[in-house]
Amino acid sequence: MIIRIFLSLLYVSCASLIARADSLPIKIEGAWVQAVPAVADATAAYMKITNLGDASLKLVGASCSVASRVEPMITTRQERNGQEIMGMEAVPDLEIVPGATLELKPGGDHLMIMGLTSHPSEGERVKLTVRFAPGDQRLDLEVPVLRQEPK
């Protein structure tokens, strides 16, 4: 029970996490990383990124304290035999036009975290540095690891 309260407090604090770098007109909300078992070599990071500036930004990738690579991915959905086939595709970047919000979420666009070097459990935090173009603009985040999508 105490753990539960602690986790929900943690969630409340992470949901309201708003990151703003001086040079980066960006708002990041509700960032989290999917907790996965030790046998998994990959997981994903999710968040909402709003471009508050006047120029288009591109999310080109990230680096993570517990993985060798982090890349932007899109989820593909196609219909076959009346059933939906889901897959993913690596993309060079995910563009966010001024005023728009890019939603990284389960079953949609995401940052794939590959080559996990350790497997943080639920409630732990990992360092995630997201990178944007043009240029090499970076933003450091501390992101909670969760088993379930926060709702």
Among 22, 54, 86, 136, binds another protein (CB under 8 A): 86
End-to-end CA distance of the chain: 19
Q: Is 41 in the site for another protein (CB under 8 A)?
A: yes
Residue 49: both structure tokens together: 């990124």
Q: What's the CA gap between 10 and 112, in Å, rounded?
A: 23
In the set 2, 55, 107, 136, which binds another protein (CB under 8 A)? 107
Minimum separation from the CB atom of position 45 to another protein (A):
10
Asked if residue 22 binds another protein (CB under 8 A), the reply is no
CA atoms within 13 A on the CB side of 28: 24
Tell me if 43 contacts another protein by CB under 8 A: yes
Q: Which residues have CB under 8 Å from 47's CB, separation 6+?
A: 28, 29, 30, 31, 32, 104, 141, 143
CB of 15 to another protein, least distance (A): 17
58 binds another protein (CB under 8 A): no
| 84 is a site residue for another protein (CB under 8 A) | yes
Handedness of CA 136, 21, 75, 63 (dihedral sign): positive
For binding to another protein (CB under 8 A), which residues are involved?
34, 36-44, 73, 75-76, 80-88, 90, 106-107, 110, 112-114, 147-149
